[in-house]
């Protein structure tokens, strides 16, 4: 008789219903702003003709229209100079009808994305990645929160995953994901309040930490780096890091983790949809701030 192999399948934690709940809230807030005479505007800047980036901008503009935002767009040629990009951002900074500015990442290699982010007026920083916004997060002050970390907190809350008082290990300390996420989940709040550990390439035996965690969040950008032997059976696993090869998305979390985890974000449609939803939540918040500071 052949031996029976039993595999458990982790409970999926999809991002779409989380995003829909956020969009419902944003729709109401946009309607209130419009009723008071303000059309919230999320401006987008695209440099060059990368088809994937152009696709993301189209998707965000469609979503903006669905939610009732205006979405002015500036498209710069691939050979735009640093001064051209700065001038485009300055024009949006100076425009009182624009409440939020998004520079689509990546931009051509001869331009410096970090420098472009610094140019954005912090009052219009929809990504929440300007040092002023990150400083506000560190100080526990209100302000735009980086979209992927905010989306992960919302995703765990929506699916009823308890976070407060639990051991959360974040793999990766990057500025867009791991670092702000660690700050966010350690804040004193019912949906956070966790014991957060951050591990990275400076901690070669990082699995020692992830193996004891209640919740492991991968925020690296190395496909398949988090494997089943790195997690405790029944742990909650969130995949934030991805690498793109063309249009192919390669997640940090190895597929085999699904047989060990208690709950896990799907490989596609997990953290991504919540990130986009949080962009619009930040945008409506910035418009509200500009209208009623
Ligand atoms: N799903 C989404 O919507 C979304 C949105 C934003 C970002 N992301 C993804 O999230 C990931 C992280 O973004 P980021 O901007 O924060 O990235 P980042 O700045 O490149 O940070 C990556 C982090 O991973 C660590 N790391 C790299 N290789 C490692 C290894 N072999 N072992 C342990 N740690 C390692 C790095 O350690 P060191 O600090 O020591 O170098 C660094 O802290 C990326 O894949 C990005 O595409 C996804």
Closest Cα to atom 8 of ligand 1: 241
- Categorize the per-residue pLDDT at 244 as very low, low, confident or very high, splitting at 50, 70 and 90: confident
- Categorize the per-residue pLDDT at 8 as very low, low, confident or very high, splitting at 50, 70 and 90: low
Average pLDDT score over the chain: 95
Q: Which atom of ligand 1 is nearest to the CA of 206?
A: 33
- Categorize the per-residue pLDDT at 7 as very low, low, confident or very high, splitting at 50, 70 and 90: low
Lowest mean pLDDT among 135-139, 243-247, 260-264, 280-284: 243-247
- Categorize the per-residue pLDDT at 247 as very low, low, confident or very high, splitting at 50, 70 and 90: confident
pLDDT digit string (tens) for 81-127? 999 999 999 999 999 999 999 999 989 999 999 999 999 999 999 99
Lowest mean pLDDT among 2-11, 169-178, 204-213, 249-258: 2-11
pLDDT digit string (tens) for 162-181? 999 999 999 999 999 999 99
Q: How far is the CA of 218 from the centre of ligand 1 (A)?
A: 8
Residue 24: predicted pLDDT: 98
Which residues are catalytic, by number?
A: 60, 104, 127
Higher pLDDT, 52 or 196: 196
pLDDT digit string (tens) for 83-95? 999 999 999 999 9
Which residue out of 134, 177, 223, 224 has the highest number of ligand 1 atoms within 8 Å of its CB and is therefore the one to mutate?
Answer: 177
pLDDT digit string (tens) for 129-166? 999 999 999 999 999 999 999 999 999 999 999 999 99
Report percent pLDDT > 90 for the chain.
92
In short, whether 178's Cβ falls inside 6 Å of ligand 1 is yes
Closest Cα to atom 5 of ligand 1: 148
* pLDDT over 50 (residue 206): yes
- Categorize the per-residue pLDDT at 1 as very low, low, confident or very high, splitting at 50, 70 and 90: very low
Nearest to 177 by CA among 228, 127, 125: 127
Residue 245: predicted pLDDT: 86
pTM comes to 0.95
Which residue out of 150, 172, 271 has the highest number of ligand 1 atoms within 8 Å of its CB and is therefore the one to mutate?
Answer: 172
* pLDDT over 90 (residue 4): no
Report percent pLDDT > 70 for the chain.
97
Instruction: Estimate the crossing angle of helix 16-35 against helix 271-291, to 10 degrees.
Output: 20
In short, whether 274's Cβ falls inside 6 Å of ligand 1 is no
Residue 43: predicted pLDDT: 98
Residue 60 sits at φ, ψ, to 5 deg, of -70, -35
CA distance 128 to 123: 10
């Amino acid at each position: 008789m052949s031996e029976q192999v039993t595999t458990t399948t982790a409970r999926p934690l999809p991002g779409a219903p989380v995003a829909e709940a956020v969009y419902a809230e944003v729709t109401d807030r946009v309607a209130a702003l419009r009723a008071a005479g303000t059309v919230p505007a999320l401006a987008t800047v695209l440099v060059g003709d990368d088809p994937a980036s152009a696709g993301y901008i189209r998707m965000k503009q469609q979503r903006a229209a669905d939610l009732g935002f205006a979405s002015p767009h500036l498209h710069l040629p691939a050979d735009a100079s640093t001064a051209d990009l700065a001038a485009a951002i300055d024009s949006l900074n100076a425009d009182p009808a624009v409440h939020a500015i998004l520079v689509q990442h990546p931009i051509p290699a001869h331009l410096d994305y970090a420098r472009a982010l610094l140019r954005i007026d912090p009052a219009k920083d929809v990504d929440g990645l300007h040092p002023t916004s990150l400083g506000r997060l560190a100080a526990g002050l209100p302000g735009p929160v980086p979209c992927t970390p905010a989306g992960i907190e919302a995703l765990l809350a929506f699916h009823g995953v308890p976070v407060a008082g639990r051991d959360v290990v974040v793999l990766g300390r990057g500025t867009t994901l791991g670092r702000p996420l660690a700050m966010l989940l350690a804040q004193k709040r019912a949906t956070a309040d966790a014991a957060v550990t951050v591990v990275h390439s400076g901690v070669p035996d990082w699995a020692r930490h992830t193996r004891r965690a209640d919740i492991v969040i991968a925020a690296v950008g190395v496909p398949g780096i988090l494997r089943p032997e790195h997690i405790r059976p029944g742990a909650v696993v969130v995949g934030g890091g991805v690498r793109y090869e063309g249009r192919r998305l390669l997640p940090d979390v190895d597929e085999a983790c699904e047989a060990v985890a208690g709950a896990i974000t799907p490989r596609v449609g997990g953290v991504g949809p919540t990130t986009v939803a949080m962009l619009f939540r930040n945008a409506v918040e910035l418009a509200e701030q500009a209208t009623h500071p």
